[in-house]
Chains A and B, each alone.
Chain A
Amino acid sequence: MQLEWSLALGAFVNFFVLLFLLKKFLYKPVLAMLDKRREEVMSNMQKAEDAKNEAEGMLAQYTEQMKDARNEAQEIISNATKIGEQTKTDIVNQAREEAAKLSAKAQEEIQREKAQAIDELRSEVANIAVLAAEKIVAKSINVEDHKAMVNNFVQEVGEAK
């Protein structure tokens, strides 16, 4: 152990030289990088948090919208069912009415046809009877008597019927 002033002074100065060099080449760049990385991580975490919140908000919104849409669809379906039901009833009623009307009309027609046919048949039968009687009696009776006789006959036939 001996005192060496040059060495002690040199070591003293050397320390501060090295401190200066390391500040420049080690601490400053490394600490800056560590800070930068920390900030980046922080901001990324913040971003992730924001994105998560946004996604959750959107999910809630979509769920709400889905619910609304489903309700609306349900309403539309039930409305349509109701309208369909109504229309069906209407159509059936209308058809029934129509059918009844047609049926009545046909009945009437038939009645009318029938009456007409009977009338026609009557006169036809009278003529045929006259002709037949003429042939059998051969002008023994005059036309007036004849007609009165036949009319009587036809009357009787009609009544008998």
Chain B
Amino acid sequence: MKKVLFSNIAYASDASTAIATFNSVDFGFGPLIISTELVTMWAVMLVITVICYLGTKNMQREPKGLQNVLEMGVEMLLNFLSGLMGKKRARMYLPFLMTFFILILVSNYSGLLPMAGHAWVEHGTAIYKPPTSNVNVTGALAFIVFLAVIYYGVKAKGASYFKHFVEPLPFLLPINILEQFTRPLSLALRLYGNVYGEEMVVAALAGLLPFLLPLPIQVLGVLFGAVQAFVFTLLAAMYLEEATAIHEHH
């Protein structure tokens, strides 16, 4: 305990050293580096899959327990998306959008586990790091949104999807194209910044006093984790809605 405390203080006093040791647990196969975030992501996926498997392996007409929780979650998001884009499209895009929500939510919360997060990184004992605290992960997720918007847009409207780049006025074309890139960029940076920032504050406070001091921030982390997962999903849903909407005047 004493050693941990000391090293935390050392970390707090010298952040650059800590950042240099971020990937101290990583190992690799040739060009592929299996980083802590990637391992954590697999663990997150495993937990999600096992929970879903257990909740749905024996579906009952009257739901209870885990099945009820899963059904409620799906139904809530389905209703929310229905309000946003209508029942038909909500049903169509639900799997895609809900996967973002679940993955990001559980990823964010994985940073709250013991032995997880940047507070433990500095002395090389971090087993988990929330994947969403790394910009490469959030960037990849945002890139998927970017591709999906184009894919579903073309799928729903064909070539006329590209019409909206010159609407409402043709000279807005460069701005419209730019928007296609700023949107995923903002998605990636918002999520990364929130989770990473929370991690950093917790790490700094844990460096000062590991006991109780980081707790208020971690409690806020529970709230922000859900909010960020929801915001990412909501924005992705809105971009999708816009790309696939069939307007009357077409």
Instruction: Return chain A residues, CB-CB under 8 Å to B100.
Output: 15
Segment at the A interface, from B120-128, B139-147, B154-162: B139-147
A6 and B59 within 8 A (CB): no
Dominant secondary structure of chain A at its interface with chain B: helix
Residue of B nearest to A26 (CB): B52
A12 and B143 within 8 A (CB): yes
- Asked if A15 meets B99 with Cβ closer than 8 Å, knowing A7-B38, A22-B49, the reply is yes
| Interface pairs (25), CB distance under 8 Å | A4-B136, A6-B31, A7-B33, A7-B38, A7-B136, A7-B137, A7-B140, A8-B137, A8-B139, A8-B140, A10-B41, A11-B38, A11-B140, A14-B42, A14-B45, A14-B103, A18-B48, A18-B103, A19-B96, A21-B48, A26-B52, A27-B98, A31-B74, A33-B59, A40-B61
Return the 5 tightest CB-CB contacts between A and B, nearest first.
A11-B140, A25-B52, A8-B136, A29-B56, A11-B137
- Chain B residues with CB under 8 Å of chain A are 28, 31-35, 37-38, 41-42, 45, 48-49, 52-53, 55-56, 59, 61, 63, 70-71, 74-75, 78, 91, 94-96, 98-100, 102-103, 131, 134-137, 139-141, 143-144
- A-B Cβ contacts below 8 A, count: 107
Instruction: Return chain B residues, CB-CB under 8 Å to A160.
Output: none
- Chain A residues with CB under 8 Å of chain B are 1, 3-12, 14-15, 17-19, 21-23, 25-27, 29-31, 33-34, 36-37, 40
B144 and A15 within 8 A (CB): yes
- Asked if A17 meets B45 with Cβ closer than 8 Å, knowing A23-B95, A33-B59, the reply is yes
Instruction: Return chain A residues, CB-CB under 8 Å to B28.
Output: 6
Contacting residue for B49 out of A4, A15, A21, A29, CB 8 A? A21
Contacting residue for A19 out of B38, B42, B55, B95, CB 8 A? B95
Instruction: Return chain A residues, CB-CB under 8 Å to B139.
Output: 8
A21 to B102, CA, bound (A): 12
Instruction: Return chain B residues, CB-CB under 8 Å to A27.
Output: 74, 94-95, 98
